[in-house]
């Protein structure tokens, strides 16, 4: 567990920043809910006139005046975007960062196999993701108590489970990418996350783009979909898990063979 512990320690500051920013934004939105609830009729009218944007963020399927609908629109966007970016940056940096910062030589000249390095790093990243989601949930729950609202707990946990799964899939895919690159991991991570997120929004806007649901994990992690359907699309979730595992497998295959310069 030496490498996993080191990775967690190394990434703890960024974890706290990401968690505080995402959790804080969700909290800020939820604290506004009691006031907005009173003006729900005029707001809904305004939202209907926003055209494609309304469907992109699932506002056409969620009830703005109910806590879960409101949480799905705002919390869903904050955690959706933030979680995707955070997991993509963690994933693409996982192996590439060692070469970028020239620490790969130090690590790999110790008696530790490349498989052990990859799996311990991956374990550490999954732990960081769980911790980030845990902190965000804590922010959400505190906010619910502060505003005196109670969410539909079943849907709440399904949604957060789907978010974690979505982030884990991106982590796995980006872990695979990480084995192929030597530098520029953060830019690539941001690029991958942005692409997957906007593909998700695109799917919500254009009916003809339904096939992208087989590419972007945002399709099964979308709060609007989960809350309005009362659950997540199991088939897409299984496909997402398969993509994540495939990413790790390809990454491991290449990492075992590559020259460390």
Partner 1 sequence: MNTVIRIQNLTKYYGKHRGVLNLNLEVKKGEIYGFIGPNGAGKSTAIRTMLGLLKPSSGKTEILGMDTVSNKTEILKRVGYMPSEAAFYSSMRVKDVIAFSADLYGRDCREEAGKLCERLKLDTKKKVEELSLGNKKKVSIVCAFQHGADLYVLDEPTSGLDPLMQKEFFSLVKERNQAGAAVFLSSHILSEVQKYCHRAAIIREGRLVKEDEVANICRASAKRVTVQGITEISGIEAADIQMLENGISFLYRGEIRPLLEKLSELSIEDLTITEPGLEETFLHFYEGGKRA
Interface residue list for partner 1 (CB under 8 A): 2-3, 6, 10, 101-113, 257, 259-261
Residues 6 or more apart whose Cβ sits within 8 Å of residue 3? 107, 112, 116, 117, 120, 121, 124
What CA–CA distance (Å, rounded) separates 30 from 220? 23
Q: In terms of CB distance, is 12 or 32 closer to partner 1? A: 12
CA atoms within 13 A on the CB side of 101: 11
In whole angstroms, the minimum distance from the beta carbon of 112 to partner 1 comes to 5
Task: For helices 185-205 and 153-180, give the axis angle rounded to 10 degrees.
Answer: 130
Q: In terms of CB distance, is 112 or 141 closer to partner 1? A: 112
In whole angstroms, the minimum distance from the beta carbon of 95 to partner 1 comes to 14
**Two tokens at 106?**
């130090």
In whole angstroms, the minimum distance from the beta carbon of 221 to partner 1 comes to 32
What CA–CA distance (Å, rounded) separates 184 from 189? 9
Q: In terms of CB distance, is 37 or 258 closer to partner 1? A: 258
φ/ψ region of 51 (left if φ > 0, alpha if ψ in -120 to 50, else beta) reads left
Residue 24 and residue 139 in contact, taking contact as beta carbons nearer than 8 Å: yes
In whole angstroms, the minimum distance from the beta carbon of 24 to partner 1 comes to 24
Q: In terms of CB distance, is 42 or 109 closer to partner 1? A: 109
What CA–CA distance (Å, rounded) separates 87 from 26? 18
Q: In terms of CB distance, is 183 or 235 closer to partner 1? A: 183
In whole angstroms, the minimum distance from the beta carbon of 7 to partner 1 comes to 10
In whole angstroms, the minimum distance from the beta carbon of 105 to partner 1 comes to 5
Q: In terms of CB distance, is 178 or 216 closer to partner 1? A: 178
């Amino acid at each position: 567990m030496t490498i996993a512990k080191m990775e967690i320690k190394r990434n703890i500051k960024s974890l706290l920043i990401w968690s505080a920013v995402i959790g804080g934004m969700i909290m800020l939105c939820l604290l506004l809910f009691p006031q907005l609830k009173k003006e729900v009729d005029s707001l809904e009218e305004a939202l209907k006139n926003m055209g494609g944007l309304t469907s992109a963020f699932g506002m056409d399927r969620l009830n703005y005046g109910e806590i879960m609908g409101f949480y799905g629109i705002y919390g869903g966007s904050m955690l959706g975007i933030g979680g995707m970016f955070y997991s993509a940056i963690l994933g693409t940096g996982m192996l590439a960062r060692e070469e970028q910062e020239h620490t790969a030589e130090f690590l790999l000249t110790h008696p530790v196999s490349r498989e052990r390095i990859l799996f311990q790093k991956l374990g550490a990243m999954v732990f960081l993701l769980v911790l980030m989601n845990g902190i965000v949930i804590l922010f959400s729950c505190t906010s619910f108590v502060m505003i005196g609202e109670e969410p539909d707990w079943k849907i709440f946990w399904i949604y957060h489970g789907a978010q974690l799964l979505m982030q884990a899939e991106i982590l796995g895919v980006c872990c695979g990418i990480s084995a192929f690159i030597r530098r520029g991991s953060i830019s690539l991570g941001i690029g991958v996350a942005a692409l997957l997120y906007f593909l998700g929004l695109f799917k919500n806007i254009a009916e003809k783009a339904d096939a992208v649901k087989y590419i972007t994990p945002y399709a099964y992690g979308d709060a609007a979909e989960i809350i309005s359907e009362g659950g997540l699309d199991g088939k897409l979730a299984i496909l997402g898990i398969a993509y994540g595992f495939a990413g790790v497998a390809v990454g491991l295959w290449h990492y075992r063979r590559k020259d460390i310069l």
